[in-house]
Amino acid sequence: MYIAADKVIGVYGMGLTQHTHGSLNIAMLVNLLLLRGNIGRPGAGCCPVRGQRTRAAHRLLPLDKFYRGNGAHERIWKTPQGKAVFTTPGQLNSVGFQEAPGRYRLITMRLNDQFNTTIYGYSDRLRGLEGSRDILLMCRLRQICAGAP
């Protein structure tokens, strides 16, 4: 879907920013958008969902009639190379689990309607679910490599 899209907007909320490695999370999202030129173009870029519009968003408006410019849109990269630079993560693991035989990693992305950034707990009244949920999704090749019949 990402490869086929002409324009992409990376929408993120507090789950990305308040994570243990929140700044790095945003940097990786920007890297993903940079890979296909989705920074600084109309209809593309990053879109943080910050919460109450009456509390924080006022700082985004030019209340003093001062325009700060948009370096990415103008293709002005303030780097030694004069180009956009990718941020390299120091690690790919934020929870401390090391790679091990028989250990698998699941990466998910969830988007609900109305930019719902709620982290669901053990009681999901909407879906009638109680307690924790364990999900294991494996492709057939991984199953065979793990010794499954």
Q: What's the pLDDT band for 33 if we cut at 50, 70, 90? A: very high
Whole-number Cα distances in Å, 105 to 12, 29, 99, 115, 116:
22, 19, 9, 26, 25
Q: Are residues 73 and 27 in the same domain?
A: yes
Q: What's the pLDDT band for 106 if we cut at 50, 70, 90? A: low
Q: What's the pLDDT band for 117 if we cut at 50, 70, 90? A: very low
Domain ranges, residue 141: 97-148
Q: Are residues 80 and 66 in the same domain?
A: yes
Q: Are residues 38 and 108 in the same domain?
A: no
> What is the mean pLDDT of the segment spanning 11-23?
80
Q: Are residues 89 and 134 in the same domain?
A: no
Instruction: Pick the range with the lowest mean pLDDT from 13-22, 96-105, 106-115.
Output: 106-115
Tokens of 120: 């669901």
Mean pLDDT, all residues of the chain: 74
Total number of domains in the chain: 2
The pTM assigned to this predicted structure is 0.44
> What is the mean pLDDT of the segment spanning 44-52?
79
Q: Are residues 36 and 8 in the same domain?
A: yes
Q: Are residues 112 and 91 in the same domain?
A: no
- 51-90 pLDDT, tens digit per residue, is 655 555 555 555 556 667 778 778 888 889 888 888 777 7
Q: Are residues 82 and 143 in the same domain?
A: no
Q: Alpha-carbon distance 49 to 140, whole Å? A: 37
